[in-house]
Amino acid sequence: MLSVERRVAIEAARAAGALLRDALSATHRIAYKASPVDLVTEMDARAETLIVERLSAAFPDDAVLAEERGTRPGRSGRRWIVDPLDGTTNYAHGLPVFAVSIALEVRPAVVLGVVYDPVRDELYVGERGRGALCNDAPLAVSTTTNLDASLLTTGFPYDLRTNPDNNLREYAVLSRRARAVRRIGSAVIDLAWVAAGRFDGYWELRLGAWDVAAGALLVEEAGGRVTGITGAPLDLERPTLLATNGRIHDTVLAILAETRGG
Ligand code: 2AM
Ligand code: CA
């Protein structure tokens, strides 16, 4: 259906991923955004330029929202949402857990999601209503029904030093209720791995649209459920997120509500 869009997005994600992978062990110049824990490397910008140039050349009328450069307006009503390097902190430390994320939104929905993990050479592609694949094999969420037997993943906001709403209490509570809670440092990988059934669920309090647009579609197309942390529909403009296999979703929502006093 979206065959040209799919091809261009896949090629851009693979090219950006290869660029990132090849430079992983090099020393990177680090610049800081709002705080000493919110950083960016020169590779974020290089990968983003590569992706945005390809999308703009192929689809000049589409808007593009990219993490580092913000929005390029368009007049088609379609919007590409790009995270050129998700897991920047990992990347800057040489930790091989990061990914490229490219989504296409045709309001009100994201219709195409492409995630590439260059370290594992895993390409995830989902199209609304048509399922999701990893390296051409169908993706399916896990079948775990008990939180006791669930492997969860989460992350923490960049303002955790100063903002008391920083997910540490939720982390403590869910660590005692789930089999284990991981913190791997890439929202895009967290979501892809929920879609792949490796994690049973993922939550996080404050994210960007680029962190979640593609991965949330992968989870839904793999049979899972995605909401905000209160159970409201995912809001791409101000994402909070709970993505699960569906079976444990209401249980985790209830624990988050109780912990957060909701
Ligand atoms: P990044 O590596 O592209 O910056 C870590 O918890 C994960 O969440 C990473 O995917 C990180 O993306 C993202 N993240 C954390 N805090 C964020 C914030 N305040 N806004 C946007 N993304 C955030
Ligand atoms: Ca990100």
Number of the ligand 1 atom closest to the C-alpha atom of 83: 3
N residues, the chain: 262
| pLDDT above 90 as % of the chain | 93
Taking residues 109-123, report their average pLDDT: 98
Listed residues 106, 138, 170: the one ending a domain = 138
Domain range spanning residue 126?
Answer: 3-138
Residues 12 and 123 in one domain: yes
Does any ligand 1 atom lie closer than 6 A to the CB of residue 83? yes
Number of the ligand 1 atom closest to the C-alpha atom of 159: 19
Q: Which ligand is nearest to the CA of 207?
A: 1
Sheet bearing 180-182, strands edge to edge: 180-182, 151-154, 201-204, 241-244, 225-227
Paired with 182 in beta bridges are 153
Residue 258 tokens, joined? 């109780």
What is the value of pTM for the model shown? 0.97
Cβ–Cβ < 8 Å for 214, 109: no
Separation of 209 CA from ligand 1 center, angstroms? Answer: 10
Separation of 115 CA from ligand 2 center, angstroms? Answer: 12
Residues 76 and 163 in one domain: no
| pLDDT above 70 as % of the chain | 100
Nearest CA to ligand 1 atom 6: 155
Residues 255 and 197 in one domain: yes
Nearest CA to ligand 1 atom 5: 185
* Reported confidence tier of residue 194, pLDDT bands at 50, 70, 90: very high
Q: Which of 207, 235, 237, 238 to mutate to test the pocket of ligand 1 (most atoms within 8 A of CB)?
A: 207
Does any ligand 1 atom lie closer than 6 A to the CB of residue 211? yes
Q: Which ligand is nearest to the CA of 38?
A: 1
Listed residues 119, 138, 157: the one ending a domain = 138
Separation of 87 CA from ligand 2 center, angstroms? Answer: 6
pLDDT tens digit sequence for 155-179: 999 999 999 999 999 999 999 999 9
Residues 214 and 194 in one domain: yes
CATH of the domain at 30: 3.30.540.10
Cβ–Cβ < 8 Å for 182, 155: no
**Residue 77 backbone phi and psi in degrees, to 5:** 85, -5
pLDDT tens digit sequence for 72-103: 999 999 999 999 999 999 999 999 999 999 99
Does any ligand 1 atom lie closer than 6 A to the CB of residue 86? yes
Q: Which of 93, 115, 158, 212 to mutate to test the pocket of ligand 1 (most atoms within 8 A of CB)?
A: 158
Radius of gyration of the chain (CA): 17
Residues 46 and 128 in one domain: yes
What's the total number of domains in the chain? 2
Residues 124 and 172 in one domain: no
**Which residue pairs from 120-128 have beta carbons closer than 8 angstroms and sit at least 24 positions apart in sequence?**
122/192, 123/10, 123/13, 123/14, 124/192, 124/195, 124/196, 124/214, 124/218, 125/6, 125/10, 126/195, 126/214, 126/217, 126/218, 126/220, 126/221, 126/222, 127/1, 127/2, 127/6, 127/221, 128/217, 128/221
Residues 8 and 81 in one domain: yes
Please check the confidence at residue 262 and state whether its pLDDT lies above 70. Answer: no
The pLDDT, as a whole number, for residue 28 is 81
Taking residues 133-139, report their average pLDDT: 97
Residues 129 and 208 in one domain: no
Separation of 238 CA from ligand 2 center, angstroms? Answer: 14
3-class DSSP state of 196? coil
Separation of 155 CA from ligand 2 center, angstroms? Answer: 11
Residues 86 and 162 in one domain: no
CATH of the domain at 245: 3.40.190.80
Is pLDDT larger for residue 41 or for residue 104? 104
Residue 88 tokens, joined? 């920047």
Residues 179 and 100 in one domain: no
